[in-house]
Amino acid sequence: MKNRSPIAIAVDAALAGLLIAVMATALVQEAAHEYLGASLFAAVTAHAILNRRRFRALLRGRRNMVRALRLMAIACLVMCVIGQAASALVLSKFAFGFLPALPGAAVARRIHMLCSYWGFVLAFAHVGLHIKGPSRLIRTRGERNASDVPRYVIWACRFSFAAVACFGAYSFIQLDFAAYLFGRVQFAFADYGAPIDLLLMSYASIAVLISGLFHYLRTTLEALEISRHRTSRAR
């Protein structure tokens, strides 16, 4: 796969940042949340256009579990984005306040919450299913062999991930993330005294946790696939 264009990388970085910002502002800054949400939808559209060839490539080639997971994550993510956008039009007071009032606010609120939280998980699962590990990333950028990457760099990356992921697990529990994912919460609750920077760090750490888990799931499945092919060829 060729190196990605700077525009595509910038859009992806903006998309990740917007996802985190939208979640962090959802409960405490309603107007900012709506305008960030509109920007997020624009970034998602740009991401889909810039990566249309990659998406088409998922439908071709050898079928395996990693490809199936990627397709499943994208399909479910598309449904979440559609649900978010449709429900946002019903609930909006600021970004789309010029639209006539639409019925079904109670149902739209539940749909919006479910699609938002599941969309967040699926988006960073999608990242984890595609992102390169530290040694591969350094090798790609530096045109070096993986063996040339200093081991302390790899272990520093792993330690950093572990530290952030632990905070992500804590934040997942502290924010009662699972309750929102499974629709056990009818209305969003917030500690309005919580600083926005802490909320941003909390959701960012959850994003790192999800991406890391799905990255290691992918590498495990790829290793199993390679082992299976070697075994079948040996026979």
- How far apart, in whole angstroms, are the C-alpha atoms of residue 133 and residue 146? 11
Is 70 exceeded by the pLDDT of residue 138? no
> What pLDDT, on the 0 to 100 scale, is given for residue 28?
65
- What's the predicted TM-score (pTM) here? 0.89
* Tokens, residue 106: 């109670």
Which of these, 33, 42, 3, 40, lies nearest to 19 by C-alpha position? 40
> Could you tell me if 91 and 105 are in contact, meaning their C-beta atoms sit under 8 angstroms apart?
yes
Amino acid at 153: V
What pLDDT score does 56 carry? 78
pLDDT, tens digit, 9 for 90 and up, residues 54-74: 887 777 767 889 999 999 999
Q: Are 9 and 20 in contact (CB under 8 A)?
A: no
Q: Which of 23-27, 106-110, 187-191, 224-228 has the lowest mean pLDDT?
A: 187-191
Residue 188 has pLDDT above 50, yes or no: yes
Count other Cβ atoms within 10 Å, centred on residue 216: 13
Among the ranges given (20-29, 55-64, 83-92, 125-134), the one the predictor scored with the smallest mean pLDDT: 55-64
Task: Name every residue whose Cβ is closer than 8 Å to that of residue 8 and which is 6 or more positions away in sequence.
Answer: 47, 50, 51
Supply the pLDDT for residue 1: 45
Query: pLDDT (tens digit, 9 = 90+) per residue, 113-137?
Result: 999 999 999 999 999 998 876 555 5
Residue-wise DSSP of 155-187 = HHHHHHHHHHHHHHHHHHHHTTHHHHHTT--SS
Distance CA 207, CA 217 (A): 15
